[in-house]
Amino acid sequence: MVVTMLIGMWTSRIVLNALGFTDQGLYNVVGGVVGFSSLITASISGSITRFITYEIGRGNITKINIAVQNAVSVQWFLAAIVLIIGETLGLWFINTQLVIPEGRLFAVNCVYQFSIANIVIVLLSSAPNALIVAYERMNVFAFVSMATAVGSFCISLIIAHCSFDRLIFYSFLLSFQSLIVRIFYYIYIKKTFPELRLKFGFDRQIFKPIFAFAGWNAIGTSSSILRTSGTSVLLNIFGGPMANTINGIANQINALATILVNDFTTAYSPQITKRYAAGEYHSLITFTHQCAKISYSLIASIAIPVLFNMEPLLILWLKKIPPGTCIFGQLIIIYSLIDGLCRPLICAKSATGDIRNYQIIVGGILVLTLPLTYIFLKMGLPLYFSYVSMVITAVGAFIARMVMLKNSIPYWSSFAFIKKIVLRCLLATLVCLIVPAILQQTMPTNTYSILAQFGIGVMWCAGSLFLIAMNQHEQKFVIELLRKLKSKIFRQ
């Protein structure tokens, strides 16, 4: 994943220079609009993963097969809904509401169609992806991530040297790459799990709870997508395509800061569900605490040094950046730190299956980002206040998630989570700030100095979080993970 992150950084630089600020902004905002339709994709994928993992935890192969077959039926049904919404309401919004430079409407429509196709491809792969996650075949995800990163890098080189419309060709190549990845997943499932049948099926006892879970999960998923995509649309309305370029760069910073956590979350999520299915509640709570600290530490170790050297690192990375990008990047890092603590709580709540009230309350809090952003921008405040509203609602959602676990998981204590996790992470964070702040004030700003500051900052933050945030049991847990990683590397 570290290699993937480095390849991704170089790819982003080439793409930005190849497309330019305007086309990059157009690509970001169109992708944001498509995000409205993708809430169905995310909802059904989460539902399938939860039900399959739950049955694996109970050791019921028959119900796993039934769940998979019902999931195949559901995903085809929902693919039709996505196409209908995308080709009517979505198409109208793209052509009538967005701020698009003269002469680029045709290109934007092409990007939109490729993006809709990509959503359908991902949706139709929900069941295979859910099986890979549920059976914890993380080596497959690592392989695909590496291959995708290399493929994206090759795509960036191609568009940097092509003579026709780069925005259209870039969108087409990304969609084609997505299709190749999904075909690989299908082949892998058929060869690795021959006892499972990826065919249509209908069983009322399985179909109904999957669909109901997806419906309530859609509220939470849509709130997150509405927040991200809606912010992108508002920035387009108030700031034009250039604001979307800045927003896109900030989202790439967030993706890079959380790349390790994303794969870590994929790895531990099935373990949380299986512990709940087996009724191992004390083990579940302890494991959730561990995952929260490690998730936060993985983000903070990278994010805090970046926070102090945002502008020179962005220039070193992208060579040229739009004015105002730095403050966006710093705010998205603060949001990422909050998100790191939230992820294990989200997995724990999803494992219970009781998500109706949770999604209504948390989803409602997250959606408040949009009216807050609109009010801030309408008042004439700077565009980065869209991210201020995102941080405010993220804090509110974190509190709600933590409190609502009490009635779902026996022996859960929000006070214990605050005392053992939140306060210790905050104390470690305060210590982490010391060395990067000193280095920023005392060292020059040339390339080698910036890289040295970043490297020293990462080591200082990682050490501080390890020694202060984690207890002895968690330190042993991390050391054991590192030993296993070292063993795998040398064995290979």
CA distance 52 to 10: 37
Give the residue from 155, 184, 161, 196 showing the smallest Cα distance to 62.
196
In the chain, DSSP finds a helix count (H) and a strand count (E) of 20, 0
Each residue of 334-390: pLDDT tens digit? 998 998 888 899 888 888 877 777 778 888 888 888 899 999 999 989 999 999 999
Q: What is the DSSP letter of 136?
A: T
Instruction: Tell which wins on pLDDT, 341 or 278.
Output: 341
Q: What pTM was computed for the model?
A: 0.71
CA distance 28 to 271: 35
Each residue of 414-471: pLDDT tens digit? 999 999 999 999 999 999 999 999 998 888 777 788 889 889 999 999 999 999 998 8
Helix axes 2-58, 138-160, angle to 10 degrees: 140
Q: DSSP 3-state assignment of 149?
A: helix
CA angle at 467 for the pair 461 and 472, rounded to the nearest 5°: 145
Domain boundaries, the chain: 1-227, 258-492
Among 64-73, 230-239, 451-460, name the one with the lowest average pLDDT. Answer: 64-73
Here the tokens at position 324 are 């105002």
Sign of CA dihedral 262, 33, 349, 413: positive
